[in-house]
Chain A
Amino acid sequence: MTNACLTFRDLTLGYNSHPAIHHLNGIVRKGSLTAVVGANGSGKSTLMKGIVGVLKPMEGTVVRAPGVRTAYLPQQSELDRSFPARVVDLVSLGLWPKRGMLGRYTKEDRESVSKALMAVGLGGFEARPLDTLSGGQLQRTLFARVLLQDADLILLDEPFNAVDAKTVGDLIQLIKRWQGEERTIMVVVHDLDLVRQNFPETLLLARQPVAWGDTRETLQPENLLKARRFHEAWEENAPWCEPSEHDHSHDRGHDHDHHAHTHDLHHDHGSGPRVA
């Protein structure tokens, strides 16, 4: 357990007493690069929010290793693009963990902002107003901000949306560089080929983890099939999940084939590379 960056203990996250992540257990190793995949509504973004702390758990805990600084690139940014700001103003927000609310930006800070923009292929865009950027350029700007945050744990929620193929390649290189620097990275991705090629580990979600571990094993056809059968909709009258008899009440709460998931999971946890 010494090298755990994140530990999930019986984590349940959700909205209006309906779980979107249901009793998740496990750890994310320090320095690992994990893809989070799953159908729409399978709880990927919810898990990200739970880790950042924007969403409070309904049950259980997420434990971050002490001293871990987190950077988070949300899927739906609440960014106000009509705000009169330049690219450099937005990216400089990434200096917050370092400079806080009052610290002055130094010459080196400004240089590191320029370097971060260069790294995402937006060198020279410093003075551009935000409302003149294209969707993909804005996404790369946000990437530059993450770069500047210099975080140990980096959470990217569908970062490749609206980004062209060449830029995806550049961003992947950036992510790999981060991994080389012993940072822990979790990325929500939809493109499974991209995952197979670039991500050593994968968490396949369908409200509960269907499989979690080595990418090639996780993305086996039978696991994908299981994940695909996942029932997206809430059941308004789903029975309450009683803490005393977890496994049992899961089954009553959801489709019957979830029974199999639960068991598989125990296997994964017992034998997968995940459990330290």
Chain B
Amino acid sequence: MEFLYGLFIAPFADFAFMQRALFGSLMLSLGACPVGVFLMLRRMSLSGDAMAHAILPGAAAGFLLYGLEILPMTVGGLIAGIIVALGAGAVSRFTIQREDASMAAFYLISLAVGVLMVSIRGSSVDLMHVLFGTVLALNNEALILIGGIVVVTLVSLAIFWRALVAECLDPLFLRSVSCMGSPVHFIFLGLVVLNLVGGFQALGTLLSVGLMMLPAAAARFWTVRVEPMCVLAVLIGFASCIAGLLLSYHASLPSGPAIILSAGVVYFCSILFGSRGALRARIVHHRHRTA
């Protein structure tokens, strides 16, 4: 018992920074994982990654002007992300170009601007925080910000759920009965940006997509309905955060990658053993019913 306590409970019970990290990352999972499920179902999994890169110049601008302060960097990232999301979304909605191409174009431009701005300031160790995050150093401001983002995300998802499902399932139908199609798409992109910005404090701009996509991708192998898929993704997110933080504590590993790698392990297990995974499809289907 002592051993188990020391392994699982003590790190969180004894250290305030571990409690904050746990609290912050669990909140992040609550908002980001359902968003990730919809990103995946809309075949926009890589768009999340592109968006994460697109946030960089905004965060860098905040950093250049105000130093390593959470609020300016967050607001900067939010603005940059929204410009790219709206721009890419608008190009795909109103021209013949598909979203993957327009998103790639916009995020690459944005990334170049970001790198340019970073290089003006010269290399900085602090900037490693932006790129790789510091979940172990979440302050109150950051926790409040993440909390706000989670509330906004969950409330928006609850309100627009039906429209979002309709827009994924049958966009042409939604357009024929309602004018919600385009607004809901942009609201959704806004949620993606919001959650990535919330995540980059804790996990860095590059890895914050991981907490969004990996649990969603893993959950896909277990269920055939959206609602359970979202719940499962959140649970996988929770488990990854706890496992990642413990791993990081006991093995002195950086916490962000540890969390994402934990989610990666769940993903690989799901591929193999999921009820819709690879092994099951190969092995179990020898028997069939008469009708």
Interface residue ranges, A against B (CB under 8 Å): 52-54, 70-72, 74, 77-80, 83-86, 89-90, 93, 96-97, 100-102, 129, 145, 149
Q: In the assembly, what is the distance between CA of A166 and CA of B220, in Å?
A: 37
Asked whether A96 lies within 8 Å of B172 as measured between CB atoms, the reply is no
Q: What chain B residues lie within 8 Å of A74 (beta carbons)?
A: 172, 176
Establish whether residues B226 and A52, one from each chain, have CB atoms under 8 Å apart when the complex forms.
no
Contact A97 B177 (CB under 8 A): yes
Q: Is the CB of A83 within 8 A of B159?
A: no
A52 in contact with B170 given A101-B163, A102-B162 (CB within 8 Å): no
B160 within 8 A of A: yes
Contact A90:B169 (CB < 8 A) given known A84-B224, A84-B229: yes
* Closest A residue to B171 using CB positions: A78
Q: 7 closest Cβ contacts across the A-B interface? A: A78-B172, A72-B176, A96-B177, A79-B170, A83-B169, A84-B224, A129-B224
Which partner residue on chain B sits nearest A151 by CB separation?
B177
A85 surroundings in chain B (CB, below 8 A): 165, 169, 225-226
Chain A residue, CB-CB nearest to B161: A101
Q: Is the CB of B41 within 8 A of A83?
A: yes
Q: Is B166 an interface residue (CB 8 A)?
A: yes
B residues with CB within 8 A of A: 41, 159-160, 162-163, 165-166, 168-178, 180, 220, 223-226, 229
> Across the interface, do B170 and A80 meet the contact criterion of CB distance under 8 Å?
yes
Instruction: For the complex, give the distance between the alpha carbons of A101 and B162 in Å.
Output: 6
Least CB separation from A132: chain B residue: B224
Interface pair B178/A101, CB less than 8 Å apart? yes
Neighbouring B residues of A77 by C-beta, 8 Å: 170, 172-173
Among A79, A83, A86, A149, contact of B177 (Cβ-Cβ < 8 Å): A149
Further pairs besides A93-B170, A96-B178: 17, Cβ < 8 Å: A54-B175, A54-B176, A71-B176, A74-B176, A77-B172, A77-B173, A78-B171, A80-B169, A80-B170, A84-B223, A86-B225, A90-B170, A93-B169, A97-B177, A101-B160, A101-B180, A102-B159
B226 and A96 contacting across the interface, CB-CB below 8 Å: no
Instruction: Show 19 residue pairs from A and B whose CB-CB distance is below 8 angstroms, ordered by the A residue.
Output: A54-B172, A72-B176, A74-B176, A80-B41, A80-B169, A80-B170, A83-B226, A84-B41, A84-B220, A84-B225, A86-B225, A89-B165, A90-B169, A93-B169, A93-B174, A96-B178, A100-B178, A101-B162, A101-B178
Which residue among A71, A72, A84 has the maximum number of chain B CB atoms within 10 Å of its CB? A84
A70 and B173 alpha carbons, distance in the complex (Å): 11
Residues of chain B with a CB closer than 8 A to A96's CB: 162, 166, 174, 177-178
Tell me the minimal C-beta distance from B276 to chain A in angstroms: 10
Q: How far is the CA of A56 from the CA of B223 in the complex (A)?
A: 40
Q: Which of A84, A93, A145 contacts B226 (CB 8 A)?
A: A84
Contact A80 B168 (CB under 8 A): yes
Taking CB atoms, residues of chain A closer than 8 Å to B172 are 54, 74, 77-79
B172 (CB) vs chain A CBs: closest residue = A78
User: For residue A78, which residues in chain B have a CB less than 8 angstroms away from its CB?
Assistant: 170-173
Q: Complex formed: what's the CA distance from A85 to B172 in Å? A: 17
Contacts of B223 in A (CB 8 A): 84
B175 contacts across to A, CB distance below 8 A: 54
- Chain B residue numbers with a CB within 8 Å of A93 are 166, 169-170, 173-174, 177
In the complex, which residues of chain A have a beta carbon less than 8 angstroms from the beta carbon of B41?
A: 80, 83-84
Tell me whether A79 and B162 are in contact (CB under 8 A).
no
Q: How far is the CA of A129 from the CA of B229 in the complex (A)?
A: 14
The distance from the CB of B41 to the nearest CB of chain A, in whole angstroms, is 6
Q: Which of A74, A85, A149 has the most CB of B within 10 A?
A: A85
Considering the chains assembled together, what is the distance between the CA atoms of A84 and B166 in angstroms? 12
